[in-house]
């Protein structure tokens, strides 16, 4: 392999890892929003999807959802830290699949916006992992 092709491969892997990191950071933000800022920033983020008077009674439920989003982020970050390429790819694909499924489910049951915010970035990252790793 030439230097150019190695550089191109490394750049493509870097793009995949950046997309994985983006999805992980997005889920860290969702963790924060749902666990710690549900009644403040959560109200702004979910304006129109949930009546204002429901934020306080659903605070514990939202925190539980936030915790699960944190687990998704942790799995994606873990995938970036694994040195073995195949394992890194498999772990990334597993957690990205979980994110995409959750995004589509949320999109069909709660708000269509969730598909664009959660599922599509996960699918893009999955595509990059499959194409570039």
- Residue 108: per-residue pLDDT: 96
- Residue 48: per-residue pLDDT: 79
Angle between the 85-109 and 59-81 helix axes, to the nearest 10 degrees? Answer: 160
Q: Is 7 helix (H, G, I), strand (E, B) or coil?
A: helix
- Residue 122: per-residue pLDDT: 98
Alpha-carbon distance of 127 to 89, in angstroms, equals: 11
- Residue 4: per-residue pLDDT: 54
Q: How many domains does the chain have?
A: 1
Alpha-carbon distance of 12 to 49, in angstroms, equals: 38
- Residue 47: per-residue pLDDT: 83
pTM: 0.91
For residue 14, tell me if it sits in a domain.
Answer: yes
For residue 1, tell me if it sits in a domain.
Answer: no
For residue 124, tell me if it sits in a domain.
Answer: yes
For residue 66, tell me if it sits in a domain.
Answer: yes
Alpha-carbon distance of 123 to 107, in angstroms, equals: 14
Alpha-carbon distance of 20 to 24, in angstroms, equals: 6
- Residue 2: per-residue pLDDT: 58
Range of the domain at 50: 8-132
For residue 3, tell me if it sits in a domain.
Answer: no
For residue 34, tell me if it sits in a domain.
Answer: yes
For residue 2, tell me if it sits in a domain.
Answer: no
Residues lower than pLDDT 70 in the chain: 1-6
């Amino acid at each position: 392999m030439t230097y150019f092709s190695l550089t191109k491969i490394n750049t493509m892997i870097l793009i995949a890892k950046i997309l994985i990191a983006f999805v992980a950071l997005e889920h860290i933000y969702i963790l924060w929003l749902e666990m710690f800022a549900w009644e403040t920033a959560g109200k702004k983020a979910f304006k129109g999807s949930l009546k204002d008077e429901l934020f306080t009674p659903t605070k514990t439920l939202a925190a539980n959802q936030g915790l699960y989003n944190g687990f998704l982020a942790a799995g994606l970050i873990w995938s970036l830290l694994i040195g073995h390429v195949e394992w890194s790819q498999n772990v990334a694909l597993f957690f990205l699949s979980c994110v995409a499924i959750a995004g589509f489910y949320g999109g069909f049951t709660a708000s269509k916006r969730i598909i664009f915010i959660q599922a599509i970035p996960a699918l893009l990252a999955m595509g990059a992992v499959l194409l570039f790793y």
